[in-house]
Amino acid sequence: QGHGGAGSSTAATARTIGGSVSLSGRPAAWLTLGGGLEVANDELVLAGASPVSFSELGVAPSLTGTAIFGRWAIGLSARYEFHASDELIPDPFVNGHRFRTDLTVGVEPASGWQVEAGVGWHWTGEGVSAVPFHFVVSGTPLEFLTFSLRGGYQAVPVDLADVLAAHPFLLPSATGD
């Protein structure tokens, strides 16, 4: 069924137009700094007698830093996201914000082995807050064998483009009967 149950849609097209840029540099031998910017416009178009489209604009700047002290590495990253959509986000200047920061610490306890742990804080404009974490042990126990063990809790934000890529025939709830 079409938008609000009126009419019918004969085809659905999902498209994304976007781009990204990133920079990184080493102002000191022990320090790497980086930054990036992603911009995307995701759109779902329902074709038919009464065409309807839904779109979402996303802008996401980010900063990263990694310091290495001997066998130890410490990384910090921060990312802000703004999403706007008249149809899908009722008030984008209130609900369209996301912020995340992550801290990672790693060490090489023996040659060829690495242990890493990380924790983050992810917040959305809707008031949702999550504290993801991870722990990784990896290495090469034998010359021909690589080992990796990873575990933790993930908090992954979902955008219109993600939903459409995973479920191409899923329509926003505003289009359902």
Sequence-ordered alpha helix ranges (H) in the chain: 92-95, 160-166
CB-based contacts of 154: which residues, under 8 Å, 6+ apart?
A: 132, 134
Any idea what the Cα angle at residue 79 is, between residues 75 and 81, rounded to 5°? 170
82 in Cβ contact with 61 (< 8 Å): no
Quote the pLDDT of residue 1. Answer: 40
User: What is the torsional sign of CA 173, 132, 23, 36?
Assistant: positive
Confidence of residue 13 (pLDDT cuts 50, 70, 90): confident
pLDDT tens, position by position, 62-93: 999 999 999 999 999 999 998 887 666 566 56
pLDDT (mean) for 2-20: 68
pLDDT tens, position by position, 28-41: 999 999 999 999 98
